[in-house]
């Protein structure tokens, strides 16, 4: 970010304070297309997905064709984005799913979507805190350090996220941008090494016989896109929202989808299509990460160690992005009277949602303490179960949003005139496709969580229960 942009930001914040609106005013910023894409892709945590979702998509999904799940997921989300973008130019609030659902389906449904969004992002954030603690402990022990409780590392990164989230969004975008470039760079180096220097491997007998359905690969691919709609959350801080948000949305989906699919294909190609399922399962059974092992095999030990470090920065970037998203949801809900009004206050100097940020930090701290006291495994139990909840939540939110797009333009035919496909046809197709994805997730939910059937059922029902609670209770500034 240039000095000129920083000066403009400071001027905006100062003017707001002078007018008496800084405490409850709008956010300010000068984010362009590239910077918003950085924020969104960082929330998707590409290295985390490559290292975590890809092995699971291979072993539990359709083996050597697991990369097709990421392509299909990108296609579904591009269909969703058509209606999402078409409605964006008529939205003036930065509440993302909440604002869209409310505008199309009414205040009650909007409130239900807001409750569900908070649950979705809070759940995945808690899961990533568990993943970070586990990964940091594993890395420290491999480097010869002591074995410490995972929650100590999680608490440390929570403090760093709290500090960054409190300040102006431009600082977060810089940090996320640097971390994102590094983690993408190390994966690109690995992919290039695999393509240019393929190494023969001995086939693993019967490796492909246990491969599962394409639907499971699609399921794990969908989870890798959580947070992509955050482009709309940063509306107030975008340089030119009418042009920046649509471009950033399409750009984020295409870049994330291509990166995931190509990287997944490279990992498969590195070990051979006939062997990849068995090889990946073998690494998982021994507590090893096939992506890190692939980097070491093709790009050298130094690159493998660098990737291990960048996996930690990837998780940090992911946590910071989710913190920013949740804080801005709370700010939007505070404006609407759905949550306490003090959450809508913004900082006089940083022009950030500082109160919502502090509240978000407090919520995350309470959940982290509860997870630590429970004594459960941070990776299998915390990350697995929270990822399952958030996957259901994000798909339901997209179904509601696609439906809201159709309803919004149906009531405003003057706005949809001459654009039937983007306003009606494609959103309907997206809603149907997303319902199919939701069915796949529900049928295979136990595979995601790795928990007992009864526990998995309770977790699967939670997003629907919270949605119903949001619909039935609370108050909004507009009539239901």
Structure-block tokens of residue 463 = 């997003």
Structure-block tokens of residue 318 = 């992911």
What pLDDT shows up at residue 313? 82
| Residue 208 CB burial class (10 angstroms; 0-12, 13-18, ≥19) | middle
What pLDDT shows up at residue 65? 92
Tell me the percentage of the chain whose pLDDT exceeds 90: 27
- Select from 179, 136, 180 the least CA-distant residue to 155: 136
- Select from 337, 41, 383 the least CA-distant residue to 180: 41
What pLDDT shows up at residue 237? 64
Structure-block tokens of residue 399 = 């179904």
Q: Which of 73-77, 287-291, 373-377, 445-449 has the lowest mean pLDDT?
A: 445-449
Question: Is the distance from CB of 216 to CB of 57 less than 8 angstroms?
Answer: yes
Q: Which of 138-147, 228-237, 304-313, 455-464 has the lowest mean pLDDT?
A: 228-237
Residue 167: pLDDT band with limits 50, 70, 90: low
To the nearest 10°, report the CA torsion of 76, 82, 84, 90. 180
What pLDDT shows up at residue 208? 43
- pLDDT above 70 for 87: yes
- Select from 423, 389, 362 the least CA-distant residue to 117: 389
Q: Which of 27-36, 73-82, 297-306, 385-394 has the lowest mean pLDDT?
A: 27-36
Specify whether the backbone of 63 is left (phi greater than 0), alpha (psi in -120 to 50) or beta: left
Interval 335-380: pLDDT, tens: 777 778 778 787 666 566 778 888 999 999 999 999 999 888 887 6
Helix, strand, coil percent content, the chain, rounded in steps of 5: 80, 0, 20
Residue 204: pLDDT band with limits 50, 70, 90: low
What pLDDT shows up at residue 170? 55
Q: Whole-number mean pLDDT of the chain?
A: 80
H or E element, residue 287: none
- Supply the pTM of this predicted model: 0.80
- pLDDT above 70 for 300: yes
The Cα–Cα gap between 278 and 273 comes to: 10
Q: How far apart are the first and last CA of the chain?
A: 42
Question: Is the distance from CB of 109 to CB of 102 less than 8 angstroms?
Answer: yes
Question: Is the distance from CB of 437 to CB of 392 less than 8 angstroms?
Answer: no
Question: Is the distance from CB of 401 to CB of 80 less than 8 angstroms?
Answer: yes
Question: Is the distance from CB of 391 to CB of 224 less than 8 angstroms?
Answer: no
- Select from 50, 414, 29, 91 the least CA-distant residue to 249: 91
- pLDDT above 80 for 86: yes
Structure-block tokens of residue 216 = 């499971």
Sign of the alpha-carbon torsion through 154, 155, 160, 161: positive
Question: Is the distance from CB of 84 to CB of 99 less than 8 angstroms?
Answer: no
Per-position b or e across 238-256, b if 16+ CB within 10 A of its CB: beebeebbbbbbbbbbebb
The Cα–Cα gap between 460 and 390 comes to: 10
Alpha-carbon distance values, 285 to 143, 221, 279, 294 (Å): 22, 22, 10, 16
Alpha-carbon distance values, 387 to 108, 236, 286, 459 (Å): 26, 29, 23, 10
- Select from 45, 64, 60, 48 the least CA-distant residue to 230: 45
What pLDDT shows up at residue 429? 96
Higher pLDDT, 287 or 469: 469
Beta-carbon contacts of 194 under 8 Å, excluding residues fewer than 6 positions away, are 266, 267, 269, 270, 294, 298
What pLDDT shows up at residue 172? 55
Residue indicated by tokens 């920083």: 6
What pLDDT shows up at residue 36? 75
């Amino acid at each position: 970010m240039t000095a000129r942009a920083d000066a403009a930001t400071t001027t905006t914040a100062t003017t707001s304070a002078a007018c008496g609106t800084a405490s409850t005013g709008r956010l300010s910023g000068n984010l362009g297309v590239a910077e918003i894409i950085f924020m969104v892709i960082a929330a998707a945590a590409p290295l985390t997905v490559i290292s975590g979702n890809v092995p699971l998509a291979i072993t539990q999904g359709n083996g050597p064709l697991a990369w097709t799940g990421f392509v299909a997921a990108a296609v579904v989300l591009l269909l969703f984005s058509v209606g999402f973008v078409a409605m964006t130019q008529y939205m003036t609030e930065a509440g993302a799913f909440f604002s869209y659902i409310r505008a199309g389906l009414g205040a009650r449904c909007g409130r239900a979507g807001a409750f569900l969004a908070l649950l979705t992002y809070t759940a995945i954030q808690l899961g990533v805190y568990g993943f970070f603690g586990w990964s940091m402990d594993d890395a420290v022990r491999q480097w010869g350090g002591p074995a410490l409780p995972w929650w100590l590392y999680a608490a440390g990164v929570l403090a760093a996220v709290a500090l960054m989230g409190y300040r102006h969004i431009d600082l977060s975008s810089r940090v996320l941008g640097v971390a994102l470039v590094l983690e993408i760079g190390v994966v690109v180096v690995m992919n290039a090494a695999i393509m240019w220097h393929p190494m023969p491997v001995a086939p693993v007998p019967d490796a492909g016989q246990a491969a599962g359905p394409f639907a499971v690969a699609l399921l794990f691919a969908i989870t890798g896109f959580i947070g992509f709609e955050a482009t709309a959350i940063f509306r107030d801080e975008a340089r030119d929202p009418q042009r920046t948000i649509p471009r950033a949305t399409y750009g984020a989906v295409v870049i994330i989808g291509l990166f995931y699919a190509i990287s997944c294909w490279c990992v498969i190609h590195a070990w051979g299509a006939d062997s990849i399922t068995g090889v990946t399962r073998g690494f998982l059974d021994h507590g090893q990460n096939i992506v890190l092992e692939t980097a070491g095999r093709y790009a050298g030990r130094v690159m493998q160690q660098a990737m291990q470090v960048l996996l930690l920065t990837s998780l940090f970037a992911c946590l910071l992005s989710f913190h920013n998203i949740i804080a801005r949801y709370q700010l939007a809900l505070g404006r609407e009277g759905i949550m306490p009004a003090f959450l809508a206050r913004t900082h006089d100097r940083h022009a950030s949602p500082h109160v919502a940020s502090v509240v978000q930090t407090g919520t995350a701290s309470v959940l982290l303490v509860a997870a630590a006291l429970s004594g459960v495994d941070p990776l299998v139990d915390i990350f697995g179960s929270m990822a399952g909840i958030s996957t259901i939540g994000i798909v339901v939110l997209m179904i509601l949003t696609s439906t809201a797009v159709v309803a919004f333009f149906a009531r405003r035919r003057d706005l949809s005139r001459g654009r039937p496909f983007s306003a009606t046809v494609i959103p309907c197709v997206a809603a149907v496709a997303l319902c199919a994805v939701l069915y796949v997730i529900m049928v295979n939910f136990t595979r995601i969580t790795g928990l007992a059937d009864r526990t998995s059922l309770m977790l699967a029902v939670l997003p629907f229960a919270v949605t119903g609670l949001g619909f039935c209770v609370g108050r909004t500034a507009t009539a239901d």
